[in-house]
Amino acid sequence: MKITIEIDCTPEEARSFMGLPDVSAANNVYVENLTKAMQGVSSPDQLQQYASALAPMGQMGMKLFQNFVEGSMKAASGGSGRKKSSD
């Protein structure tokens, strides 16, 4: 049997419902700083240097973050991702 539930809500409502903190103030500061930094970028090389500074571990860092998020989602849903042994 498959049950599908669709919830129509804003991101703020979803965060509140799941008990997550409101990070809008931190996000606004981040976007503002990123916007200011990008105003000085005038060539693709500068953009590449800036991107490298933002993500010093590059793709490996992104993969670690992705694994962290996926693991957190599994833990929150009650799944461990491991098979139970039958003793």
If pLDDT is split at 50, 70 and 90, which confidence band does 3 have?
very high
Residues of the chain with pLDDT > 90, as a percent, come to 9
Q: CA 22 to CA 15: how far, in whole Å?
A: 7
Provide the pLDDT for residue 80.
53
Q: Report which of residues 7 and 53 the model is more confident about.
A: 7
**Distance separating alpha carbons of residues 57 and 47, to the nearest angstrom:** 16
**Four-CA torsion 84, 69, 54, 50, nearest 10 degrees:** 100
Which pTM does this prediction carry? 0.39
Q: What is the mean pLDDT of residues 59-86?
A: 67
CA angle at 52 for the pair 50 and 53, rounded to the nearest 5° = 65
Q: Which residue ranges make up each domain of the chain?
A: 45-75
- What local confidence, expressed as pLDDT, does residue 67 receive? 78
pLDDT at residue 54 in the model: 65
Residue type, 24: S
**CA-angle at 56, arms to 54 and 62, nearest 5°:** 85
